[in-house]
Amino acid sequence: MDNMKIGKVNIDLKHYAGKDLYSEGEIEDRLLKVSEEKDPKEFRKVVEEHDEWAYLYHFAKERQNIVSWLPISKNDKVLEIGAGMGAITGELCKLASSVDAVDLSLKRSTINANRNKDFDNLSIRVGNFTDIEADLNEDYDWIMLIGVFEYAVAYMGSEKPYEDFLNIMKKHLKADGRIVIAIENRLGLKYFAGCKEDHTCLFFDGIENYKLDSHVRTFSRKGLEKIFKKVNITDYHFYYPYPDYKLPNTVFSDKRLPECGELKDNIRNFDQDRILLFDENKAYDGMIEDGMFEDFSNSFEVIIGPDVNVSYAKYSMERDDKYCIRTRIIEEGGVKKVEKASVYESGKEHIADIKKAMDELNKRFAGSDLSINKILDYNEDEGKIVLEYIEGKTLESILDDCVKKGDKEGFIKYFEKYKEYVSFNEEHPVTDDDLIFSNVIINENGWNLIDCEWVRFEKGNSSEIISRAINNYLLPGNFRNRIKEWIDCSTDFNEDSFIKERVLSENKAMSEIRHNIGKGIYDLKYLTDRVAAFDIRFQIYEDFGDGFREENSYFAVNIKKHGPNMELSIPIKEGIKNLRIDPGNRPVRFYVNQILLNGDDVTEKLIGINKNGCLDVRSCMQKNNTFVFRTEDPHFKLPVKTVNAKAGDILTIDCRAEYIY
């Protein structure tokens, strides 16, 4: 069979080897079932119901953000290499006239076809790329290598796989076409901060230039540029998906780099445990100040070919569908503009409300010198509004400058001016709940209000707006806390409640999904405490029938260490009735993995009696053999007489300790 069809999608099997040479195992069967039984509109709920990385990675709408900002037109032909389960294929089909998708796996291609079965402009080819390549057209406007270029060794099997891969891609491109590469940065900041390398799952593997031979390899910015130079590619443009290219919420460029305080979403260990060695927010701020962000961005999106007219894109996706929008900074005829568009069909009404809000805010602030940025175009059918781009500094960044300089007088001057605007014509029935410092731009022409998205058409309360602005400003903490000495910052404003009420509805935030997937985050204090716990001095008390006495005690010296655990070997002496173990002299969480008497497990018979300082230990012990001591005299008793321990026997305790504080 050379072809099969699912819905309107044709799957070409001419070069299929007859079996899938790449698979993630049984999870693919479960994902296939979802694609067969669920409408793509239901995928968000599917992701939220399954606390697994695979569901998030393959079905999250956010995956499409890596391509949906690109100016792909309805006349364009797209080639997608390594299409997988179609995470971005459907978005490409919406944007382009035709999409040719290539993948090695039939099962993955079947999932792709199922989820995109209503598109008549999609064809999928299954098989090894080197076999399929001869059948591909040579007039593509766009070639997508999203999470693919790092696998060039597997694709090509040649001595210069990356160069050969690009040379082949160039052959299939129109003269003015573009190749898009999305790939992790080998030197991404998250790897320095303690995330494992995405492909090898090893700490610092990319930073150390890959310790083992591997079929996958990512590159630094300069590393990619060296490859481009070898194949005579000189027209290329770097973009920076943040937090990374897999689930990006923002795309920066050399024309619009991030500003200090803008990169706050850095805990991204969805699929693996991580260490947290330092505060990535602060590290990024320092790098931005020194002009080094481009080298340490977690991911790159490189456009090979003519540059595009988009310098910035931001997605607001952690919302109810009707509020999800995409914001882009575009440039046409040398003029910058801001475009806001609905992500879903249901969001068109929200775009209409933004237009109405700006019209009403213009009425409210008429007579003041606060300007509302102008509407340049509005398309109700497309759910899109285009606004003027205002140059200048945000009030937030100006206030930051005052705080850093210790300029209390300057800070108060700007803050009082801000309060005047918030209170101006307060009786007018329109309220901008999002009139925070970052949404005010100041330039030589005065103060300008932007991003009028959360507006109520009713009279508001200026004190609540001011309270939210202060609360929002203080959220990152750090140096901004200084303003508590300058102005009244007392507020009981609940930002989470505000967001939940107006934005999230019942949808889960990405941070909640990450938490539910359950991968660990271990900060430096936790790690150092774990190391310190290895140096606990275990004092062993022996009871020969007259209780525990200091003279009948000693410090254990025969301690073996394996991984995070310790193994105590305690010789049983003649006449011993009970033992008492004192794990250190400070509050500690103590895990008993197993207790052996001459190799026989006696754990259940010995633990759980005479705890000191434990909180609800009896139920806890029954579940996972854990002692929690919050005193500086932690100890527990082992009634060795109950297991008929004799002189010469060896009691072995396999355990782990962690200091609590």
In this prediction, residue 504 carries a pLDDT of 61
Exposed e or buried b for every residue in 298-333, given b needs 16+ CB within 10 A? bbbbbbbbebbebbbbbbbbbbbbbbbbbbbbbeee
Q: How confident is the model at residue 507 (pLDDT cuts 50, 70, 90)?
A: confident
In this prediction, residue 217 carries a pLDDT of 93
Q: Which two structure tokens, joined as six digits, stand for 374?
A: 């102008």
**Angle of the 408-423 helix axis to the 462-474 helix axis, nearest 10:** 140
* Helix residue ranges, H only, 119-259: 129-132, 152-156, 161-171, 189-193, 221-230
Please provide residue 447's backbone torsions phi and psi, each rounded to the nearest 5 degrees: -100, 135
Which residues have a Cβ under 8 Å from the Cβ of 515 and sit 6 or more positions away? none
What does the alpha-carbon distance between residue 384 and residue 339 come to, in Å, rounded to a whole number? 7
CB 88 within 8 A of CB 109: no
Q: What is the DSSP letter of 165?
A: H
Would you list the domain boundaries of the chain? 3-254+281-307, 393-513, 525-659
CB 347 within 8 A of CB 322: yes
* Helix, coil or strand: residue 43: helix
- Report the pLDDT averaged over residues 626-651: 88
Please provide residue 517's backbone torsions phi and psi, each rounded to the nearest 5 degrees: -65, -35
Q: Which two structure tokens, joined as six digits, stand for 523?
A: 């900060």
Instruction: Tell me: pLDDT of 103 over 70.
Output: yes
* Helix, coil or strand: residue 96: coil
- Report the pLDDT averaged over residues 473-497: 81
CB 289 within 8 A of CB 260: yes
What does the alpha-carbon distance between residue 243 and residue 284 come to, in Å, rounded to a whole number? 12
Query: Which string of DSSP letters, residue by residue, matches 253-289?
Result: ETTB---TT--------SSS-EEE-S-HHHHHHHHHH
In this prediction, residue 609 carries a pLDDT of 47
Name the nearest CA neighbour of 183 among 141, 133, 227: 227
Give the least confident one: 345-359, 390-404, 599-613.
599-613
Equal fold, 3-254+281-307 vs 393-513: no
Instruction: Tell me: pLDDT of 614 over 80.
Output: no
What does the alpha-carbon distance between residue 115 and residue 651 come to, in Å, rounded to a whole number? 59
Strands 446-449 and 440-443: antiparallel
* Helix residue ranges, H only, 305-459: 348-364, 395-405, 408-423
**Whole-number percent of the chain with pLDDT over 90:** 74
What does the alpha-carbon distance between residue 377 and residue 244 come to, in Å, rounded to a whole number? 32
What does the alpha-carbon distance between residue 241 and residue 248 come to, in Å, rounded to a whole number? 6
Q: How confident is the model at residue 527 (pLDDT cuts 50, 70, 90)?
A: confident
In this prediction, residue 501 carries a pLDDT of 64
In this prediction, residue 499 carries a pLDDT of 65
Instruction: Tell me: pLDDT of 347 over 60.
Output: yes
* Residue 639, preceding peptide bond in cis (omega within 30° of 0): no
Best CATH choice for the domain 3-254+281-307 from the list 3.40.50.300, 3.40.50.150, 3.90.1150.10, 3.40.50.1000: 3.40.50.150
Name the nearest CA neighbour of 625 among 643, 645, 604, 640: 604
Max CA distance (Å), the chain: 96
Q: What is the DSSP letter of 185?
A: B
Name the nearest CA neighbour of 89 among 102, 76, 71, 104: 102
Q: What is the DSSP letter of 502?
A: I
What does the alpha-carbon distance between residue 586 and residue 532 come to, in Å, rounded to a whole number? 12
Is 0.95 topped by the overall pTM?
no
3-state DSSP helix/strand/coil percent for the chain, to nearest 5?
35, 30, 35
Instruction: Tell me: pLDDT of 661 over 70.
Output: no
* Residue 646 CA from chain centroid, whole number: 57
Residue at 221: amino acid letter: R
- Report the pLDDT averaged over residues 35-64: 95
Exposed e or buried b for every residue in 621-659, given b needs 16+ CB within 10 A? beeebebbbeeeebbbbbbbeebebeeebebbbbbbbeb
In this prediction, residue 495 carries a pLDDT of 65
What does the alpha-carbon distance between residue 142 and residue 423 come to, in Å, rounded to a whole number? 51
In this prediction, residue 658 carries a pLDDT of 81
- Report the pLDDT averaged over residues 39-58: 94
**pLDDT tens by residue, 587-610:** 888 888 899 999 999 988 887 544
Name the nearest CA neighbour of 602 among 561, 572, 557: 572
Per the prediction, the chain carries an average pLDDT of: 91
CATH architecture of the domain formed by 393-513: Orthogonal Bundle (1.10)
* Residue 339 CA from chain centroid, whole number: 25
- Report the pLDDT averaged over residues 131-147: 96
Strands 431-432 and 173-184: unpaired
Please provide residue 180's backbone torsions phi and psi, each rounded to the nearest 5 degrees: -115, 120
What does the alpha-carbon distance between residue 248 and residue 176 come to, in Å, rounded to a whole number? 27
